[in-house]
């Protein structure tokens, strides 16, 4: 009887989490148009482009901060952060791994005025185009990507980049695109790694939102010590070679950090 009762309780809890996950996705979908509407309503106001950009980023940061806590309140996840004071200094290039759909939400919620390299498709989506444009985010397919990133860091903005470019597969070694290494070499002397873990894995690439794990996932966001990349900025070698070396170094660094083998 106890076993049957426990099984029924588990099934009911799972069904609740599926329903609550659907609600959370609906809230996220509504959030973009709401922010876009707020931006539109402020257009007539005499606000400088810089102040408008900062205001938009703070709105996105606050929305993400609230969204995570709503998901926690619904029992959909738990999370912890470590060493986030390391993210407070301005003008940092923050590199984060990407195990789940929520990674960008977590990392961006920790940095109030962060800039971010995002998928170019977000600038073509009618629901997200307004917020990402007003926030001054940088499209990953922008032909001026490197110069835009360099300018952002020179202005003292913290720039978030996900070197994988897409969500990773659980248990498999990470593979980085060379774009993050090129940005780092062109823009900064250091990078700030952020380790993101999610156990059990959820919201993976090609996974449906209703495919929830058997238990509530726990996220850990852990800011690591900065890495000096001056050794990779060898002016006597081609940029492409330096980028390959740095990309491989960062892959090895993250795979060791996460306990993954090549």
Task: Report mean pLDDT in 10-residue bins for the chain, 262 residues.
Answer: 72 90 91 81 81 92 95 96 97 97 96 95 87 93 95 96 94 94 92 97 91 94 96 78 95 96 72
Helices and strands: H and E segment counts in the chain: 7, 8
**Interatomic CA distance for residues 113 and 88, integer angstroms:** 10
Tens-digit pLDDT profile for residues 145-197 = 999 999 999 999 999 999 999 999 999 999 999 999 999 999 889 999 999 99
The residues that bridge with 171 in the sheet, in sequence order, are none
pLDDT for position 47: 81
pLDDT for position 90: 94
Question: Nearest Cα to 193, choosing from 229, 139, 239?
Answer: 229
Residue 206 gets the label, from left (phi > 0), alpha (psi -120 to 50) or beta, of left
- Residues sharing a CB contact under 8 Å with residue 83, sequence separation 6 or more, in sequence order: 222, 223, 224
Question: Nearest Cα to 193, choosing from 126, 149, 253?
Answer: 253
pLDDT for position 1: 47
- In the 8-state DSSP scheme, what is residue 173? P
The domains of the chain, with CATH numbers, are 2-257 (3.40.1130)
pLDDT for position 13: 85
pLDDT for position 56: 92
Q: C-alpha angle 113/118/120, rounded to 5°?
A: 135
The packing angle between helices 2-42 and 49-73, to 10°, is 170
Place of tokens 């499209």: 139
**Interatomic CA distance for residues 131 and 135, integer angstroms:** 6
- Residue 152: count of CB within 10 angstroms of its CB: 23
Dihedral in degrees, nearest 10, Cα atoms 60, 176, 120, 54: 30
Contact 123, 139 (CB under 8 A): yes
- Residue 192: count of CB within 10 angstroms of its CB: 21
pTM exceeding the 0.85 threshold for the entire prediction = yes
**H or E element that contains 66:** helix 49-73
Contact 200, 217 (CB under 8 A): yes
Place of tokens 């032909």: 143
């Amino acid at each position: 009887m106890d076993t049957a009762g426990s099984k029924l309780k588990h099934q009911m809890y799972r069904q609740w989490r599926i329903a609550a996950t659907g609600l959370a996705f609906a809230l996220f979908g509504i959030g973009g148009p709401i922010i876009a509407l707020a931006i539109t309503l402020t257009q007539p106001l005499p606000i400088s482009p810089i102040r408008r950009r900062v205001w938009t980023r703070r709105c996105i940061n606050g929305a993400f901060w609230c969204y995570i806590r709503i998901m926690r309140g619904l029992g959909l996840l738990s999370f912890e952060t470590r060493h986030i004071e390391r993210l407070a200094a301005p003008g940092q290039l923050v590199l984060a791994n990407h195990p789940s759909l929520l990674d960008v939400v977590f990392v961006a919620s920790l940095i109030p005025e962060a800039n971010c390299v995002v998928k170019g498709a977000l600038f073509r989506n009618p629901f997200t185009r307004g917020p990402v444009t007003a926030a001054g985010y940088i499209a990953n397919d922008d032909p001026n990507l490197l110069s835009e990133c360099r300018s952002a860091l020179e202005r003292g903005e913290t720039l978030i980049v996900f070197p994988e470019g897409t969500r990773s597969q659980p248990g498999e070694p990470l593979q980085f695109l060379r774009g993050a290494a090129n940005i780092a070499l062109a823009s900064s002397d250091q990078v700030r790694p952020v380790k993101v873990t999610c156990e059990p894995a959820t919201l993976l690439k090609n996974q449906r939102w209703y495919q929830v794990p058997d238990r509530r996932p726990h996220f850990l966001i852990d800011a690591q010590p900065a890495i000096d990349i001056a050794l990779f900025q060898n002016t006597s070698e081609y940029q492409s070679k330096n980028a390959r070396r740095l990309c491989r170094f960062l892959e090895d660094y993250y795979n060791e950090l996460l306990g993954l083998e090549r």
